[in-house]
Amino acid sequence: MSPLFQRAEPQNKPGRKRASSSADRTPRYSSGWVKVLSRLKDESGLRVLDIGPTSPNNINFLTNLGHSVYMADLVEEAVRPEWVLPAQEGEPQGYDVEGFLTRHMDFGDRRFEVILLWDALDYIPAALTEAILHKLAAVMTEHGLTLAFFHSRLTGPETVFCRYHILDGDTLQTQECEPYPVLRNFQNRQIETLLQELGACRFLLAKDNTREVVVTR
């Protein structure tokens, strides 16, 4: 299998804004990325899991450093209505969690030293969140690093769902994608609890109403 999880592009749906490869990119300072980049430069032959819209820029950057990169665009897949199960009488609407994990998170025997989670957990339905994190914890190596962002607001220009392009330095580039809404806000204690299976959280300052977290296994 190629070190890039590929999927067929879905057909455009009315009202859905498709990401454009020519959309403007906005620079964003990231102290969390600085920490992860240091690890990527200090070691070679790492496996990196990028949880976000596919970025050829990221693939080229990471492979040029001597690492393998795997892509899993979980947000776009998780919000599809096909995973929602009919509500049973007297019970809330369900979600086909096992079906989703089987189709989109089957990594075989691969394990990862670095996971770029970005801000995916703000957009993924709550019914899936715990299962996704449990799966990520199962495929992460000892001393692995996870980079995660969390929005502190539900609305506003800073909450637009973006593709993150990595660079050689302390800056990322964000590129607007589909207009998925932020589904909920997590406070620091909730974030620690949410990510505890992945490791210990270190919160880093950010200037755009976004919490940055580096999690060490």
pLDDT tens column, 96-132:
999 999 999 999 999 999 999 999 999 999 989 999 9
CA angle 126, 203, 58 (to 5 degrees): 75
Whose tokens are 């990325």? That residue is: 33
More confident residue, 137 or 156: 137
Give the DSSP H or E segment for 66. none
3-state secondary structure of 30: coil
3-state secondary structure of 205: coil
Q: Are 70 and 47 in contact (CB under 8 A)?
A: yes
Per DSSP, 12 falls in state P
DSSP H helical ranges for 65-150 = 74-78, 97-104, 126-139
Residue 21 lies in a domain: no
Residue 170 lies in a domain: yes
CATH number of the domain that residue 207 is part of? 3.40.50.150
Q: Are 48 and 114 in contact (CB under 8 A)?
A: yes
DSSP H helical ranges for 10-88 = 31-42, 56-64, 74-78
Our count of domains for the chain comes to: 1
Q: How far apart are CA 37 and CA 45, in angstroms?
A: 14
For 45, left (φ over 0), alpha (ψ -120 to 50), or beta?
left
Q: Which domain holds residue 41?
A: 30-80+95-216
Cβ-based neighbour number of residue 91 at 10 Å: 7
Residue 88 lies in a domain: no
Position 9 pLDDT exceeds 90: no
Give the DSSP H or E segment for 210. strand 210-216
pTM: 0.88
Residue 160 lies in a domain: yes
pLDDT-derived band at 23 (thresholds 50, 70, 90) equals confident
Position 3 pLDDT exceeds 90: no
Across the range 43-66, mean pLDDT stands at 96
Residue 86 lies in a domain: no
Beta bridge partners of 210: 151
Token code pair at residue 133: 């994190």
- Tell me the pLDDT tens digit for each residue of 169-201: 999 999 999 899 999 999 999 999 999 999 999
The pLDDT of residue 140 is 97
The pLDDT of residue 8 is 33
